[in-house]
């Protein structure tokens, strides 16, 4: 009989986001704190109002390269991107590489350079390995931004970041602390070992826990990599359970990993508890506060909105409304106004969509059909 004490403690920011999220409908991000303070502009005002700017969007070709094919999160991202480009009258190219590798993305970048696209928005599978290809694209006049997973600063104009790295790291380590009862073993089930976003969140979790005595009772036993492949993530979960009989919590900061782990733990009736970053649509059946469910709560943001933000950013770069400099600002249609802020390590600019949002038994039904 497993014992689980779950205290769902929302930080002030998350509580505010939760309340706002419950009040909102449709596909808009629940993370209302992320929304610009001013009233969102109506959709029709998405197009730049000056006559000169609008036709430029229509004449241009905007490409999106996701991390890989077969990941519903990436499809949601693409859905948002396509929606905005279509509405603006631009030509949209969506590319899902066969595997979540830098090599697969480099091949796609080369092909897009040959096609003479106007912009590339890319969720990078590696921080460094894409640099030469992206530099070649930039030299050909193609505007580059990243979304979801960044590259080094000189390879892109700006980064559309779903949530602040520190905030994601804090939410995840606090969830681990809560679900372990403040002490004991936990493991991380990540995506690929090269994924910029997962590595940044894991580094942030480590830095927070190493820098605060509050977390001294937590022991990170392993970071395992499921490569954002369902079968490998399943195998890695099973291996963790075998290797660490005293394991209390698995934290999977990947929607593919968390869904695979949730099924393993729930099917086995395991006492190991799960948290991390998951899609409500894939995780609804595993979220619950009782022993029959493997995941008490998890976090995410709206991947459709992240794709939309990347589309508006691409349009603003192509139109010359922004260059990627810190302090640049633009209107992302009905998402409102965004200002580019400096990354903490000085590596260029980012545009933050909003804070991570907690999904739990109280709100999961509201979101499972949205994304």
* Binding residues vs ligand RAM (CB under 6 A): 67, 71, 73, 123, 148-149, 191, 195, 197, 228, 254-256, 277
- The nearer residue to ligand RAM, 105 or 149, going by C-beta atoms, is 149
Nearest to 264 by CA among 229, 300, 236: 236
* 3-class secondary structure per residue, 257-283: HHHHHHHHHHHHCCCCEEEEECCHHHH
3-state secondary structure of 98: coil
Alpha carbon 34 to chain centroid, angstroms: 14
- The nearer residue to ligand RAM, 73 or 357, going by C-beta atoms, is 73
- The nearer residue to ligand RAM, 4 or 368, going by C-beta atoms, is 368
**Residue in the structure block whose two tokens are 């490409």:** 63
CA distance 207 to 166: 10
Determine contact, residues 309/336, Cβ cutoff 8 Å. no
Q: Which residue is nearest to ligand RAM (CB)?
A: 73
| Nearest distance in Å: CB 196, ligand RAM | 9
**Residue in the structure block whose two tokens are 């409500």:** 280
| Nearest distance in Å: CB 356, ligand RAM | 10
| Nearest distance in Å: CB 48, ligand RAM | 29
Structure tokens at 162: 């779903």
3-state secondary structure of 93: strand
| Nearest distance in Å: CB 301, ligand RAM | 9
- The nearer residue to ligand RAM, 265 or 277, going by C-beta atoms, is 277
CA distance 173 to 275: 10
- The nearer residue to ligand RAM, 160 or 318, going by C-beta atoms, is 160
- The nearer residue to ligand RAM, 196 or 319, going by C-beta atoms, is 196
Other beta carbons within 10 angstroms of residue 368's beta carbon come to 17
Q: Give the dihedral of Cα atoms 300, 87, 348, 193; nearest 10 deg.
A: 40
| Nearest distance in Å: CB 259, ligand RAM | 9
CA distance 61 to 41: 25
Other beta carbons within 10 angstroms of residue 157's beta carbon come to 23
CA distance 157 to 153: 8
- The nearer residue to ligand RAM, 254 or 275, going by C-beta atoms, is 254
- The nearer residue to ligand RAM, 53 or 69, going by C-beta atoms, is 69
| Nearest distance in Å: CB 261, ligand RAM | 13
| Nearest distance in Å: CB 69, ligand RAM | 12
CA distance 334 to 103: 36
| Nearest distance in Å: CB 191, ligand RAM | 4
């Amino acid at each position: 009989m497993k014992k689980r004490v779950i205290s769902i403690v929302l930080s002030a920011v998350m509580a505010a986001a939760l309340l706002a999220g419950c009040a909102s409908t449709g596909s808009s991000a629940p993370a209302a704190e992320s929304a610009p303070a001013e009233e969102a502009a109506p959709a029709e005002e998405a197009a730049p109002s000056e006559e000169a700017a609008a036709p430029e969007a229509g004449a241009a070709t905007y490409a999106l390269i996701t991390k890989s094919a077969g990941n519903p999160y990436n499809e949601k991202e693409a859905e948002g991107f396509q929606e905005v480009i279509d509405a603006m009258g631009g030509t949209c190219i969506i590319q899902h590489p066969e595997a979540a590798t830098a090599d697969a993305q480099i091949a796609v970048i080369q092909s897009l350079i040959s096609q003479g696209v106007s912009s590339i928005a890319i969720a990078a599978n590696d921080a460094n390995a894409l640099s030469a290809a992206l530099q070649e694209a930039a030299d050909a006049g193609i505007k580059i931004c990243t979304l979801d997973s960044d590259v080094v600063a000189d390879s892109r104009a700006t980064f559309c970041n779903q949530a602040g790295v520190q905030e994601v790291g804090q939410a995840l380590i606090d969830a681990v602390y809560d679900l372990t009862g403040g002490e004991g073993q936990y493991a991380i089930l990540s995506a690929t070992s090269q994924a910029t976003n997962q590595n940044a969140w894991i580094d942030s979790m480590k830095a927070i826990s190493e820098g605060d005595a509050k977390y001294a009772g937590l022991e990170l036993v392993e970071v395992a990599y499921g490569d954002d492949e369902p079968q490998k993530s399943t195998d890695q979960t099973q291996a963790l359970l075998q290797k660490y009989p005293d394991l209390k919590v698995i934290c999977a900061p990947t929607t593919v990993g968390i869904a695979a782990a949730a099924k393993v733990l729930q099917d086995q009736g395991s006492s190991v508890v799960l948290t991390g970053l998951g899609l409500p649509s894939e995780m609804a059946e595993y979220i619950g506060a009782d022993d029959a469910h493997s995941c008490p709560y998890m976090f995410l943001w709206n991947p459709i909105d992240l794709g939309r933000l990347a589309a508006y950013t691409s349009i603003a770069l192509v139109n010359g409304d922004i260059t990627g400099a810190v302090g640049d600002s633009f209107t992302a249609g009905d998402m409102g106004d965004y200002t580019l802020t400096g990354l903490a390590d000085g590596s260029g600019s980012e545009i933050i969509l909003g804070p991570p949002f907690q999904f739990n038994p109280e709100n999961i039904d509201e979101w499972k059909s949205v994304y």
